[in-house]
Amino acid sequence: MTLVKLDPSYEELRAVARDFARKEVLPRAAELDQSMEYPEALFRAMVDAGLTALPIPEELGGSGAGMVGLCVAIEEVTRYCQSAGLMVLLSRLAAGPLLVSGSPEQQRRYVPDVAAGRRRGSFCLTEPQTGSDTSAITTGARRSGGGYVLDGRKAYISGATVADFYVVWARVPDEEGPRNLAAFVVDRDSAGVSIGHIDEKMGVRGVPTAEVVFESVVVPADARLTPPGKGFAHLMAQLNSARPGVAARGLGLAGGALRYAADYARQRQAFGGTLLDLQAVQFLLADIAIGLEGARSMVYNSAALVDSGSYGKEAAPYIAMAKAAAADLAVKASSDCLQVLGGAGYMMDHPMERYYRDAKQLQIVEGTSQIQRLIVGRSIRDGGLTFD
């Protein structure tokens, strides 16, 4: 049990997601990590179970479970497997920019297909030369013949090789302001779009990460999602609105690691009792449990903020706190739980070394743990967070 109580409808969803995770995800998790192949059959099973439809409103073909519902499903799936959790999240990462910034027509064109698993998308912001400093991206969107021509290279894009469309952040040179950013939705089969370097990763290896290259890619005017002068604000809103989903991956990983380590320590004999009888081991696990209960409350509160339509500047520090807390917890939990297993934890006979490798990604993606602190710190400085 947990002290964080959600509406009963979410608890029903939790039971379904838990069952799915045990039957479909757990048996595949280790193999997924080793083969490094995208699991098409697992994706189809996710679609059939309705997981890709969760964060999408009913009028666009989804089930309207919102970010809270998505976090519930992600938390359950990531108790066993981060790659599977990222696959669930990717439906929101692809549809999110359209939901936050797209017109009704743009939404109708893409979002129902994402909900039904007919099309997959990737979010393309990071470039080889810049990640955290988003206002320094150099991918260009030059106006031409009533539309735009895109040129640039995006790096570390999750799901790039299996995506059917990309949400691409670019700079529009003839628009005013230092942050003349705009988002475009670009079909994968557009002329000039190609996959560059495919990364070899330390963790989350079931979902490919790759460069996406745009060479003189012609897109129509209605491929543009964000209005002139508002690009940076829309980018921040898109990132804020997705962050609870990344944070939920940290909750699942920490909870899964904690349960596994506690079960192991309960049966492992040492010094005339079990490992779990040792207070030093109890304290290690207790610290993770304390962190988990706190992070869970922050993550579901931030997801509820997003569902209430609050993911702008006022909500940003709370969402950032939740993301940083859950990501940092996942890294600590995977390290400490591996320690509880001793030598066994280091071996691939147990999942802990995989959790350890997978956890680190969470402190980097969707804004690093430092960038989350930067958001919180600036909010304190500027009076957004007042602690009155």
- Tell me the per-residue interface mask from 206 to 225 with ligand FAD, x by CB under 6 A, - otherwise: ---x----------------
Q: How far apart are CA 50 and CA 116, in angstroms?
A: 8
Q: Work out how close the CB of 64 gets to ligand FAD at its nearest, in angstroms, rounded to a whole number.
A: 25
Q: Which residues pair with 165 in a beta bridge?
A: 121, 187
- Residue 241 contacts ligand FAD per CB under 6 A: no
Q: What is the rounded CA–CA span in Å between residue 261 and residue 160?
A: 34
Near ligand FAD by CB under 6 A: residue from 17, 338, 371, 375: 371
Min separation Cβ 286 and ligand FAD, Å = 29
Give the shortest CB-306-to-ligand FAD separation in angstroms.
19
What secondary structure does DSSP assign to 274-290, as a single string?
A: EGGGSHHHHHHHHHHHH
- Does 376 help bind ligand FAD (rule: CB under 6 A)? no
Start-to-end C-alpha separation, the chain: 32
List the structure tokens of 192.
């000039």
Question: Is the CB of 88 or the CB of 340 nearer to ligand FAD?
Answer: 88
Q: Least Å distance between CB 153 and ligand FAD?
A: 12
- If the CB atoms of residues 90 and 111 are measured against ligand FAD, the closer one turns out to be 90
| Alpha-carbon gap, residue 209 to 347, rounded angstroms | 25
Please pick, from the candidates 193, 340, 365, 375, the single residue that binds ligand FAD as defined by CB under 6 A: 365
Kindly state the number of chain residues that form the binding site for ligand FAD, as judged by CB under 6 A: 21
The reply to whether 158 sits near ligand FAD by the rule CB under 6 A is yes
Q: Is 366 a catalytic residue?
A: yes
In the complex, minimum distance from the CB of residue 364 to ligand FAD, in angstroms, rounded to a whole number: 5
For ligand FAD, the closer CB: 167 or 306: 167
Phi and psi, residue 375, nearest 5°: -65, -45
Rounded to the nearest whole angstrom, what is the least distance from the CB of residue 372 to ligand FAD in the complex?
Answer: 9
Residues 6+ apart with CB under 8 A from 86: 158, 159, 204, 207, 249
CB 250 within 8 A of CB 270: no
DSSP H helices in the chain: 8-20, 29-35, 40-48, 66-77, 82-101, 104-115, 231-267, 279-307, 316-341, 343-346, 352-362, 369-382
Options 8-16, 46-54, 291-299, 369-377: segment touching ligand FAD (CB under 6 A): 369-377
- Binding mask 111-140 vs ligand FAD (x if CB under 6 A, - otherwise)? -----------xxxxx---xxx--------
Q: Does 165 bind ligand FAD (CB under 6 A)?
A: no
Task: Tell me the two tokens of residue 280.
Answer: 């030093």
Task: State which residue has the least CB distance to ligand FAD.
Answer: 131
Q: Does 254 bind ligand FAD (CB under 6 A)?
A: no
**Residue among 239, 195, 193 at smallest CA distance from 216:** 193
Q: Does 98 bind ligand FAD (CB under 6 A)?
A: no
Please give the backbone phi and psi of residue 18, each rounded to the nearest 5 degrees, phi first: -65, -45
Give me the least distance between CB of 381 and ligand FAD, in Å please. Answer: 14
Amino acid at 11: E
Q: Identify whether the C-beta of residue 16 lies closer than 8 Å to the C-beta of residue 72.
A: no
Contact pattern from residue 345 through residue 364 relative to ligand FAD, giving x for each residue in contact according to CB under 6 A and a dash for the rest: ----------------x--x
Instruction: Return the active site residues.
Output: 366
User: Where on the chain is the footprint of ligand FAD (CB under 6 A)?
Assistant: 122-126, 130-132, 156-158, 201, 204, 209, 361, 364-365, 368, 370-371, 374
